[in-house]
Structure 1
């Protein structure tokens, strides 16, 4: 069973004490660049909160003595499912719809 998508939320910024609000269950996540809406990350996982927390969204600056480089503004949304198999099936349907849309738009 698949629930509905959450609202878009700002991805927590490192060092600001912000938290990820996501289910600790199987599901799908989508991360996008806030300014353009371009896709950053997408996945079907066993634990949505953990997957979002482990995403490599920060990078080290070569010139900043190990301080984080300026990060893009990201947003994320989540969709809980009852199992990882249901999450994978829903993700595959979404990918199929996107491919169909893009092939018609080209």
Structure 2
């Protein structure tokens, strides 16, 4: 599994890179703030949303601390997706939120 730090993800966004970020936290957690442009797919729903994802794209997975996103990354990798886990999750995020 590939990893990026929260700072590396923030730098990519600040450099204008278009990232496909999936936040696997629960809806009520995301309501308190998420990375701009991140799409919320709670961990329990990831397997039911596979048809909404594109195997050509690379996805960065985010949760509160990195544990749930790591589980989602393993699952998505096993289904042929190109994924990267953001280490430290939103606890390590210092960038903008919406």
Q: TM-score, normalised by structure 1?
A: 0.25
